[in-house]
Structure 1
């Protein structure tokens, strides 16, 4: 369940703290294939189940950018800021993909609000995020996300 705050003043009080953990979501072959169609990236390690079974990961794996794109729906489970009119993704300071996400794996997001700083018309939040793979020692992704919230 998301942490809900009312406005940026309450948001500032969370700076430096954990935002919690999202629910698990399964990365299915259908999701991988849909992403491949949307991006035109049909590399065999993603879409050819027979060839990928003989490949380095023993199965198809999600695109790194598919894993990254799932950050947004997972993040909405962590933080809900009310009292702002606009929320935008401002960018990423760092992204790494330490471990591939094999088809059928479940992933979740763990977040920590690293900072809240003023920008013209609003605030920018910096969040340190880890996308975990159920049962895996290494995460699927580690990233530092930047979002802007305008009053």
Structure 2
């Protein structure tokens, strides 16, 4: 895990890959809980019998479930200390490039694309988060994220 203590350290990391998370199992229970939470009960996610006959031979995770794994996965990659608050400012671009089939293991890689000083104690961190499945030949999801951090 990389730990950043101030804006200068973040700025120095611009353009570099920060690291990768551990692998996390995406099992049917997690998919079902996400379906229940969001109300998205499409058969490709929650009906293993029907999904066996579908295009992937099994159920797949919701794209937004993959994206929602960002906080836990990124939390294993880096931490920013000495902040009074951190704000998820939003996303510039998200692409779902390949399915996350039930039973897959998911990890993320983070690159800090740009770190911008907003004020004396505030920075905006523009990152690319690439969500990968173990053994996959391309990312499941690539997201351009923006975080704002307010230092004490």
Interval containing the TM-score (normalised by the shorter chain):
over 0.9
Task: Tell me by how many angstroms 1:16 deviates.
Answer: 1.0
Query: Match for residue 110 of structure 1?
Result: 109
Task: Tell me by how many angstroms 1:119 deviates.
Answer: 2.1
Query: Match for residue 139 of structure 2?
Result: 139
Task: Tell me by how many angstroms 1:5 deviates.
Answer: 1.4
Task: Tell me by how many angstroms 1:8 deviates.
Answer: 1.3
Query: Match for residue 59 of structure 2?
Result: 60
Deviations 1:51-76 (A, max 9, x none): 00000110000000000000111011
1:126 aligns with 2:126: yes
Q: CA RMSD in A?
A: 0.9
Gaps of 5+ in 2: none
Counterparts of 1:123 and 1:69, CA distance in 2: 23
The SS at the match of 2:76 is coil
Counterparts of 2:70 and 2:140, CA distance in 1: 11
Task: Tell me by how many angstroms 1:30 deviates.
Answer: 0.2
The SS at the match of 1:112 is strand
Counterparts of 1:140 and 1:87, CA distance in 2: 26
Query: Match for residue 84 of structure 1?
Result: 83
Q: Report the count of equivalent residues.
A: 150
Runs of 4+ in 1 over 4 A off after TM superposition: none
Gaps of 5+ in 1: none
